[in-house]
Amino acid sequence: MRLYLVFGVIFLLGGVILFKLFEKQVIEFSQYARAARNQSESETKIQAQRGRILTRDINGELFPLAVSEWTYELLVTPRQIKNKRSFAEILSPYLPEMSVEEIYSKVNNDEVYIPPLVKNLSSERADEIRAQNLIGVTLQPKLVRTYPERENLAAQIVGFVDAAGIGKYGIEAVYDRELRGLPGERVAKRDSLGRLIDILTTKEPQSGSDIILTVDHNVQFVAETELKKAIETYQADGGSVVIINPKTGAVIAMAGYPTYDPNNFSKLAPEEHFKFLSTAASNVYEPGSVVKPLTMAVALDVGAVTPETTETFGGSVQVLDRTIKNAEDKTFGRQNMTQVLENSDNVAMVWVSQQIGAEKLYQFFANFGFGKKLGLDVVGEQAGLLRPLKEWNDVLRSTAGFGQGISTTTVQLAAAYSALANGGNLVTPYLAEKAVVADKATAFKHPDPVRVIKQETADAVKLMLESVVLNGHGKRAAVEGIRVGGKTGTAQVANPQGGYYENQHVGTFAGMFPIEDPQFVMVVRLDNPKTVRFAESSAAPTFGAIARWITNYYQLR
């Protein structure tokens, strides 16, 4: 009986052993084979070349605003280095940022991995180090995003790429998918010490697309230069300039201040991160009298007035519990509608908005793009504020007619003025024209213009705006040799607690040129200039300076 028991135990143990052998050799074979491969094979992701962001000039020459450059990390495996002192002495001449002792202290151990000795080595320095044939050295290629333009040109348009390689803000964010491309992969065979023996397979990366902008490189530079000069001259807190093609919506320049250096974006404190946003598209304000030509366009379009309609207006008017006055309590008396714009008469505009009616004025303002995002290809575009029609009492109807009680962005104003310039169609501003990869260009699609006023209305208002520059508050926006039209706006700054600040204002000039066939719509905004009181002395001359340069650049005379 004991013998049978012994044989049974032996048989059972043998069965268990056989099963375990079967399990290891057959059932779990693939798992162990994979583990063995993992010890001898390594997979490495190959970065895709991120596409460039480019502007061009009047001749079509391209200028890079953002590029990706190959740099190298110097990796060292101390365990593979036999004579560490000699190693440090040989390497030191090629690493001026490190002494022999510093290098020696880093490699004087038996580690398989230590942090990179140096990052962002240029290709030239990497080649010099590679030529020394040092055992234990690996030069790991890495793409680094750089922004080569001086003076941080177009930083708020371009944005930046973060440490993870993801586009943040501006074109880098909006077109991140097109720019980034597809990474590749390399499978290599290594020995027991991790040294490379052979490359087994390689899947090449696919480069990202270049994005070509509508922005003219030289106009952008001049817009930024003149904006900064104006901010310094008039001691303004900030400002923006937008220049667009009124027929297409293509943005020719878009400047904002204060701005930042995209090569050093991480140095900005959290409270400064607002600089990453496009000032022209994200900074909302009550625009003031630059809205008057739009209100006048509505009045003409619905047949409430003509440019020759004449009335007598006082220096103030009572609307419910609100007394509305002209600037400096001026009274202009009997005027036609063109003179109302020339004099920037608030009281007269109350009368004009009354002839229109709240419902029609609200609807036309909505059609002009107020109160909604236009779809500009930036991060952080704001809609502004156009209160619901049910909130439009007589006071709001009256003040909205001269740009108070509604809020917009500089870009929205440029789009609205484009409808005056191009014969009555609202355009959608855009920055990216096309994507190019492997010499194949794909144009981006943008919304078609939408008619918002009649052709004859737009033509009439253009002539009224020209008269404002010739005879009204826009004289300092004039350019010799071409016809310019536009309107000033000196707006109070709304207090979040209610009412308006007494000692703050925003100066704006919105205009177009040449009047007979406008090629450019430009809006200049200066936030709280302290050396002058009115936009005719700040935003208007800034507009004029930029317009004069553009006139020469494009040979408009």
6 phi/psi in degrees, rounded to 5? -60, -45
- Cis ω on the peptide bond leading into residue 115 (within 30° of 0)? no
Beta carbons within 8 Å of 339's beta carbon, 6+ residues apart: 332, 345
Q: Of 282, 289, 353, 538, which one is the catalytic site residue?
A: 289
Phi, psi (deg, nearest 5) at residue 453: -140, 165
CA distance 254 to 348: 33
Closest CA to 394 of 364, 366, 354, 356: 354
Strand positions, DSSP E, 274-314: 310-313
| 278 is annotated as an active-site residue | no
CA distances 422 to 93, 236, 249, 471, Å, are 64, 32, 10, 23
Q: Which helix (H) or strand (E) holds 490?
A: strand 485-494
The kind and range of the H/E element at 140 are strand 137-146
> CB–CB of 159/171 below 8 Å?
yes
Beta-strand ranges (E) seen in 340-479 are: 425-426, 432-437, 440-443, 450-451
3-state secondary structure 451-488: ECCCHHHHHHHHHHHHHHHHHCCCHHHCCCCCCCEEEE
Residue 257 φ then ψ, to 5°: -145, 135
DSSP state of 395: H
Specify which residues 196 forms β-bridges with: 190
- Catalytic site positions: 289
